[in-house]
Chain A
Amino acid sequence: MKLRKIALTAALAAASLAATLGASSALAQAKVQFFPSLTGRTGPVAPNATPFANGYADYMKLVNARGGINGVMTLVEECETAYATDRGVECYERLKGKHGGATVFQPLSTGITFALTEKVAGDKIPLITSGYGRSDSADGGVFKWNFPLIGHYWVAGDAVLQHIAKQEGGWDKLKGKKIAVVYHDSPFGKELLPIVQERAAMHGFTLQLLPVPAPGVEQKAVWLQVRQQRPDFVVMQTWGVMTPTAIREAIAVGYPREKMFGTWWSGAEPDLKDIGAPAKGYNAVMMQHGAEPQSAVVKEILSKVHDKGQGVGPKDEVGQVLYMRGVVGAMLAVEGARAAQERFNKGKPVTPEQARWGYENLNLTQAKLDALGFKGVLRPISTSCVDHMGSAWARVHTWDGAKFTWASDWLQADEQIIRPLVKSSAEKYAAEKKWTRRTPQDCQS
């Protein structure tokens, strides 16, 4: 009996060892453009990260339905990170060499981005961190491989504060006011602080910083402090289950939701639809697009992907805020690869280094975006060697109890303030890591 137990354990061990060894052996080279997808379908951010992953996968299928990137089909393989940095790094290591080489990684986690920033320079694979990651990576002169396309946290913070100032009647009206910042106690949460601190110093309002330890389901103490201090506004840098918890606690202490402003990861349907009417008035700044069920690309996805039974997630999710973010992320990945293809090797898959050139030389005019189906959703995006962000537009939307409505016009983050911050932070990082700024010749490659 004991011998049988031992034999069974040994067999299981041998099988699992064989499986792992087999997995690490090289796969046959396939002529596809491989886009790995690091997902957060489980763990503390699952309700929010799942629509993103579904949107990403659906848009890639749409690209294939449209004929691929000049005939080259896209391939998506998912790897579950559960928003944990070490699992994200393991997924990166596992996927980076598969299917002919990963074109680009989009970790959807600032923690994983911080860890991968060290690795991608050596592995020569670009990283798209649209709306998250290191804000100073917008400086392409230092961060060759990082692309915070269409926005980063300092843009979000600036846009939110601009909107608040506009509502109050001007920046000078903010003098003497108190703004609380409820943030996730991690590199993700802390990324917002430099811009709000800079604006507070410039305009004379005080900040109340309230960190919430991960995963953010315990916020009673924080919101009791808010009730005590009565700040004029609350800015939230939260993600995942932390957001609805915060809103529920705010309702419990009676803090007016109209005075609450989330950044673009803190204001989407999964956060608010379970709360519904009591959360009416909650605002969030959006990175150009919000929920876009009427857009052309959504209609195309529904007809060409979901109606054919190829849709990855539920149909009613299509067009929601985070789904659209996944679609936009996939679009940026594909268009960069297309630009690289057109320069280097039309009709064939591009290498990650060539794709990096593509992301650095993105020129998405309004005409191109409209043709792709993003009319009214996105504004033109144009990156360069020194600017890896490409655009700094944002809008604020408000929850009306059942859906989001636009509460502001297009806002543009103040580059005069942000650019020096980005540059000094990037130089500090470069000094620490002993990196040198890229030469103009390097920019031409």
Chain B
Amino acid sequence: MFYRENGQFKTNYKADQQIFPIAQDRWAIAALLLIGFVAVPLLADEYFFKAILIPFVILSMAALGVNILVGYCGQISLGSGAFMAVGAYMAYSTFVRVEGMPLIVALMAGGLSAMALGILFGIPSLRVKGLYLAVATLAAQFFCDWAFARIGWFTNNSSSGSVAVSGLSLLGWDINTPARKYLFCLGLTVLVALLAKNLVRGAIGREWMAIRDMDVAAAVIGIRPMYAKLSAFAVSSFIVGMAGVLWAFVHLGSWEPLAFSIDRSFQLLFIVIIGGLGSIMGSFFGAAFIVVLPIALNQVLPAIGSLVGLTVSTAMISHAEYMIFGALIVWFLIAEPHGLARLWSIGKQKLRLWPFPH
């Protein structure tokens, strides 16, 4: 009933190959973009922007990057936090050292530095796979932790190790209110999502997926493993680096090296696992889940507790968060390894037929 595809005939290849071939999908995406860019800034309050929307948008971008590497190319990476840190600190270094540095240039500098480091730490992937590669990327994480705490150049020789930025603006448009910050991040994320979707639909994406599925067979049919793996690391790290710049500049404002610790890497990995490995849409679902769940638990658990007559302390909520996260990850890996995106895809497939049985 919702997806009546009668009369939707494609008459050229361009129409056939578009990202959203079904007209209803195009309308839905247009509506979502309208809500995201117009309705939400008008309706949401400051807390909603700062605590939910901005982290959600930035983590979606980071998850897109991680998904390209882990989901599409199959290279397990536990160093995403380090790439975010590299992006953030290199952008900070360029931003603060040159008076009047444009924000976009600093953003690109952060992304490109993260890309360079990503390629460097992606070289082990040419020799090792799976768990061993995870350990090699973990080395990247710890190396970056050490570098940003010890090497004063990155923090502009700040005595405390904590750095801050202020006065962000884009071509004269000051990014100083939560609504503007949200719009800036959303614009960049939509661009990155479009870029990522087109990459994974094209030849390079198919190369990545071939490497993921069976890399020996891929090499046999003529896909160069080095090119495919390193390009996955490069694109992924660039996106994650940009997300790191946004996380530090726009969301945190003031940060220390611990903001990009191993916990951040795990968080990104959990986002792509829960959202759906190898799915662009899954990155958004996973990010929404991870951002909203702790806050929702904070509100919902005491309410549920009071229904059964228990007072739930703040410590208990914090412990419950960990327990529920762990349980959910285990459940997803067993029951639905393809995550929330797969659940949505199944739902959509049913909706395309509903109410008819076939």
Q: With A24-B48, A80-B318, A93-B50 known to touch, is A187 a contact of B299 (CB < 8 Å)?
A: no
B258/A111 in contact, CB under 8 A: yes
B255/A42 in contact, CB under 8 A: no
A19/B318 in contact, CB under 8 A: no
A213/B145 in contact, CB under 8 A: yes
A-B contact count (CB 8 A): 119
Q: Mark A39-79, 1 if CB is under 8 A from B, else 0.
A: 10111001000100000000000000000000000000011
Min CB gap B89→A, angstroms: 15
B299/A213 in contact, CB under 8 A: no
Q: With A16-B293, A19-B296, A433-B166 known to touch, is A42 a contact of B51 (CB < 8 Å)?
A: no
Q: Mark B142-165, 1 if CB is under 8 A from A, else 0.
A: 000110010000000001111010
B315/A80 in contact, CB under 8 A: yes
Q: Say if the beta carbon of A221 comes within 8 Å of chain B.
A: no
A22/B253 in contact, CB under 8 A: no
B256/A42 in contact, CB under 8 A: no
Q: With A118-B166, A190-B160 known to touch, is A97 a contact of B258 (CB < 8 Å)?
A: no
Q: Mark B249-262, 1 if CB is under 8 A from A, else 0.
A: 00011111111010
Q: Say if the beta carbon of B202 comes within 8 Å of chain A.
A: no
Instruction: Name the one of A46, A89, A114, A214 contacting B162, with C-beta atoms under 8 angstroms.
Output: A114
Q: Say if the beta carbon of A115 comes within 8 Å of chain B.
A: yes
Q: Please count how many residues in chain B sit with their CB below 8 Å of the partner chain's CB atoms.
A: 45
CA distance A203 to B51 in the complex (A): 49
Q: Say if the beta carbon of A303 comes within 8 Å of chain B.
A: no
In the complex, chain A residues whose CB is within 8 Å of the CB of B120? none
Min CB gap A424→B, angstroms: 12
Interface of chain A: mostly helix, strand, loop or mixed: helix
B292/A16 in contact, CB under 8 A: yes
CA distance A115 to B164 in the complex (A): 8
Min CB gap A6→B, angstroms: 5
A89/B252 in contact, CB under 8 A: yes
Min CB gap B252→A, angstroms: 7
Give the contacts of B11-47 with A (CB-CB under 8 A): 45-47
Min CB gap B64→A, angstroms: 20
Q: Say if the beta carbon of A345 comes within 8 Å of chain B.
A: no
Q: Say if the beta carbon of B343 comes within 8 Å of chain A.
A: yes
Q: Say if the beta carbon of A185 comes within 8 Å of chain B.
A: yes
CA distance A194 to B295 in the complex (A): 39
In the complex, chain B residues whose CB is within 8 Å of the CB of A23? 295, 298-299
Q: Say if the beta carbon of B131 comes within 8 Å of chain A.
A: no
B340/A9 in contact, CB under 8 A: yes
Q: Say if the beta carbon of B350 comes within 8 Å of chain A.
A: yes
Question: What is the chain B residue whose CB lies nearest that of A96?
Answer: B47
Instruction: Name the one of B48, B252, B253, B318 contacting A42, with C-beta atoms under 8 angstroms.
Output: B318
> Other CB < 8 Å A-B pairs besides A3-B350, A114-B162, 4 of them?
A5-B336, A20-B52, A85-B256, A90-B295
| Residues of A in contact with B (beta carbons under 8 Å apart) | 2-3, 5-6, 9, 15-17, 19-24, 39, 41-43, 46, 50, 78-80, 82, 85-86, 89-90, 93-94, 97, 111, 114-115, 117-119, 185-187, 190-191, 193-194, 211, 213-214, 433
| Residues of B in contact with A (beta carbons under 8 Å apart) | 45-48, 50-52, 145-146, 149, 159-162, 164, 166, 252-259, 261, 292-293, 295-296, 298-300, 303, 313-315, 317-319, 336, 340, 343, 346-347, 350
